[in-house]
């Protein structure tokens, strides 16, 4: 199995908009192409920002790459994302004013079950 953690640091006043975009646009497209969401959570940083993170599971790293390529190659989905950015002032504006940090990380298990 391959696991990844995707996280964002988002300004408080953008959290509801960002979560709605995830639930209506990004999550359905990820699931459509075979990604499995373990869960998605948020944590108040107590500095007018919130950390929002998701953990995803894939059969293998190769499955992850294939799914990501399919997600990014899904024309109607890409257009919905572009439209969302435009509704919020454009991609550069969103990343300069609302989403302060983004990271996509592989997770490595420390548990070894069986032999």
Mean pLDDT score of the chain, rounded to an integer?
A: 96
* φ, ψ at 13 (rounded to 5°): -75, 0
- Kindly tell me if the per-residue pLDDT of 115 is higher than 70: no
**How confident is the model at residue 113, as a pLDDT?**
79
**How confident is the model at residue 59, as a pLDDT?**
96
| CATH classification code of 2-106 | 3.30.70.100
Burial 86-108, CB ≥16 within 10 A → b, else e: eebeeeeebeeebbeeeeeeeee
- The whole model's pTM is what? 0.89
The model's confidence at residue 1, banded by pLDDT at 50, 70 and 90, is very high
**How confident is the model at residue 4, as a pLDDT?**
97
């Amino acid at each position: 199995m391959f696991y990844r953690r995707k996280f964002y640091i988002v300004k408080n006043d953008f959290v509801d908009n960002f979560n709605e975009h995830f639930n209506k646009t990004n999550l359905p497209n990820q699931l459509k192409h075979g990604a499995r969401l373990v869960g998605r959570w948020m944590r108040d940083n107590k500095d007018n920002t919130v950390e929002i993170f998701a953990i995803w599971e894939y059969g293998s790293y190769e499955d992850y790459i294939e799914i990501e390529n399919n997600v990014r190659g899904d024309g109607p989905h890409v257009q919905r994302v572009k439209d969302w950015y435009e509704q919020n002032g454009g991609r550069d504006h969103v990343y300069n004013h609302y989403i302060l940090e983004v990271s996509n990380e592989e997770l490595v298990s420390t548990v070894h079950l069986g032999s």
